[in-house]
Structure 1
């Protein structure tokens, strides 16, 4: 795409959105629109997609560091939650900016995915550290609770990697093929495993046991969805001609 001013950039970005299939309501109606405005602002500031990726990483990893190092409180929960939400919005903006500039590249996609994988791994590690350092705040009654972030991390990383690998191995649709219509029911069902919803849970950090149970429930949902995703992906790839 060619260059565009602020309004023109937004119009081009709206026309260049990826398919909403398999995207939850949060990502579709909150994160992608927020990323669109950030991408337009980054375009006006002449930032590159890789620079936007690094801005996303800065917000995300600052939140991770604060979660691991600072004592849990309502203020910390607000800062961590908002930092993660902003980082996630910039994560959407880098790809949109690349499409706007016509500068998508394997290196940029690689950087984006590496940052995402590191963010997922580090965030659950930070929760593990917080549980270990402040068991009283979270109402932990034994070391078994430390298995929750480990299990959640395993489910999140395998889902992330499995989804990427499946997309790489599946045959690409023929040029000109219309994308499938998004399902509202599926978009609602995917909310428990949307990263944006996960970011919002950290707003409950000051609540101690409330955060622990909310985090645990999302972890259980992540494990159940992982089993469903793995079954679906294996069947799809098994039906793919070699």
Structure 2
């Protein structure tokens, strides 16, 4: 009969109920067990930034944020600190505000990857976004130092204006060179060696989180200039060492 209604197929798939959300404590526990290796990581990132990022990742998980959203929050904090550095006159209050924004942004930078591992949603698009935000942050930060040098500092000579440009070059080359070396070097099939504590200490001066502490000296022009110069000198030395190491490893592996 034309009016007969057919019943729905009995083998139609029924969506499985969504898994219940983990509590904050359980999310923290799982995050602690899903950390990346500590090889090549400074003590600051290992014992300060990653643990803080873990707390933020658990909070972001409970707030149902995606890793990409956490990446954008990281960029927003960093961008706010950089903008304040470029626009406002140096003071001790600005020093704390800039450092705080940069440090929180760096912690969220750790949180996005941890959240992706917890959710099992990591992928090339998220990695690309994370690296683009990092590159923008590094480039803009030293540009903001150049602006504040020019606008607000009583420099003893114009040569000081070249310092942020040199630092920017060194920082970008370390960032880009390290990423490219990781892509080009073959992955080791053997298990990673135990992380070296001596190396973790030696890497402290080129850890972004440690470098951010230099902005706590913004209230004193001389203290900031010479501390910034010292960090640049260390970065220049590490840049030469890193480039030599990466080139040798890639050449031997090819």
TM-score, normalization: structure 1? 0.95
Larger radius of gyration: 2
Between the aligned partners of 1:146 and 1:26, the Cα distance in structure 2 is 30
Report 1 or 2 for greater relative contact order, CA contacts < 8 Å, sequence distance ≥ 6: 1
1:36 to 45, 54, 73: 54
2:118 to 88, 100, 103: 100
Are 1:3 and 1:101, in contact at CA under 8 Å, matched by a contact in 2?
no
Structure 2 gap segments, 5+ residues each: 1-19
**2:174 is matched with which residue?**
159
- Offset at residue 200 of structure 1 (A): 1.1
**2:38 is matched with which residue?**
20
1:212 to 225, 236, 253: 225
Between the aligned partners of 1:19 and 1:180, the Cα distance in structure 2 is 10
1:200 to 213, 216, 219: 213
RMSD: 1.3
Between the aligned partners of 1:230 and 1:57, the Cα distance in structure 2 is 28
Between the aligned partners of 2:31 and 2:205, the Cα distance in structure 1 is 27
Deviations 1:105-156 (A, max 9, x none): 10000000000000000000000000001122xxx11110011111000000
- Offset at residue 11 of structure 1 (A): 1.0
Are 1:43 and 1:97, in contact at CA under 8 Å, matched by a contact in 2?
yes
- Offset at residue 3 of structure 1 (A): 5.1
Any idea what SS the aligned residue of 2:39 has? coil
Any idea what SS the aligned residue of 1:18 has? coil
Between the aligned partners of 1:21 and 1:49, the Cα distance in structure 2 is 23
Are 2:153 and 2:221, in contact at CA under 8 Å, matched by a contact in 1?
no
Any idea what SS the aligned residue of 1:141 has? coil
- Offset at residue 179 of structure 1 (A): 2.3
TM-score, normalization: structure 2? 0.91
Between the aligned partners of 2:25 and 2:36, the Cα distance in structure 1 is 20
**1:172 is matched with which residue?**
187
Between the aligned partners of 1:63 and 1:79, the Cα distance in structure 2 is 7
Give the paired residue count: 236
Are 1:128 and 1:150, in contact at CA under 8 Å, matched by a contact in 2?
yes
Structure 1 gap segments, 5+ residues each: none
**2:77 is matched with which residue?**
59
- Offset at residue 59 of structure 1 (A): 0.4
In the TM superposition, 1:48-197 aligns within 5 A as 48-136=66-154, 140-174=155-189, 177-197=190-210
Are 2:94 and 2:218, in contact at CA under 8 Å, matched by a contact in 1?
yes
Between the aligned partners of 2:136 and 2:22, the Cα distance in structure 1 is 33
- Offset at residue 180 of structure 1 (A): 1.8
